[in-house]
Structure 1
Amino acid sequence: MKLILRSIAVLSLTAAVPLAPSFAQTAGQQVIDTSGAAVGTVVRVDGGNVIVKTDKHEVALPKTSFTPNEGKLLFGMTQAQLNAEVEKNLAAAAALIAPGANVKGSAGAVVGTIDAVDAEFVTLKLQSGALVRLPRNAVAAANGEVVIGMTAEELQAQVAAPAAQ
C-alpha cells in the first residue's frame, strides 16, 4: 500500500513539473489569436524576436509572446489589435520628428535640432549653426528620441567635406 501511495505521489510530482516550450518558430508558420483567427505569418526569426507579417505591417515581437498550438503560434492579440498598436506607435514616432526636436547621433550625443520637415527631407541645424538636409528616412524616432545613423563627428565631417573640395 505504501509503495502504491509513493508511486502516485511521484507521478503527481512529475506531472506538476511544467515543460519548457520546445518549439521553433519558422518562416511561413501561421500566427493565430486565441479564437483561432489569423493574425499573420512568420517572416523570419531574428535573435529573440519573431518577425510577423500581418495584412498591413511587418512587426518584430518577442519570442516569449507566442505559445505553440497545433503547429501554429498562438498570440494574445487579434490582427486588428496588433495593426492598431503598430499604427499608434508609428504615429507617435512620426510626431517626434518635428521642428525644434533635438537629434542625437549614433553615439548618443546631440548633433543638432530639426529646423524643417517635409515629405522627403529633414533639415537639421547643427551645433555649429550649419543647416544640413537629410533624406526623411535618415532620421528615425527610437525610445522617445530622434536619432540618425551616424555620430556627430561623422555628420560634421560630411558637411565639411564638400567645402574642402
Structure 2
Amino acid sequence: MNHTPHADGTKPEYSAWLQEHHPALFRAAVFHARGDRQTAIDVVQIAAVKIGRSWDNDEIREKIIASEAYVHTIVKNCLSTYLKIRSRIEGRERELDPDRHHVIDDGPDLELRAAILSLPQMERSMILLHYYMGYTIIAAGAKLDLSRDQSHRLHSKAIKRLKALITDTE
C-alpha cells in the first residue's frame, strides 16, 4: 500500500477511497440530518477530515474500508458533534440578544438603549452581561471566550464608545 503523501499532503489511497465513497457519505449525512443538505455538506467535510486523520492507523483503515456501517457511525457521530456545537453557538447568540430578554426595557432612557444597541456585537454583549445581567467583567469576558485582559479592554472600549455616542446626541 502506498502511504506516501502527495505534494498537497493527501494520501493516494485515502484520496481514491474518498472519491469513490463521497456520494455514499453524502447520502448517509443527508439521511441522518433529516434532509438538511447544508448540514450534510458540513458533516461530510468533518467526517472526511476525521477519516483522513485516522487513515494511517492500519486497524481503523481496515474497518473503514471493510465496513460501511462503521463509516455510517462516523458520519452519525460527526453529525451529533456538529449539532451540539451549533446549538451551543446559537444558544450563546440567543442568550446575548437584548431583545430576547428585554434586558433594556423601553424606559425613560431611550437614548442609552439606542446607544447600547448601536454598539458592535462584542461590546454590546459585554455591556449587557455586566450591567444588565449582573456578571463581573471577567465572568462576562469568559462567556465571550475572552481572557481577563481582553475582557477589561473590551469593557473599556465599550464604555468609551457609549460615552461618545451619548455625548454626540446631546
TM-score, normalised with respect to structure 2: 0.34
Greater helix share, structure number: 2
Greater strand share, structure number: 1
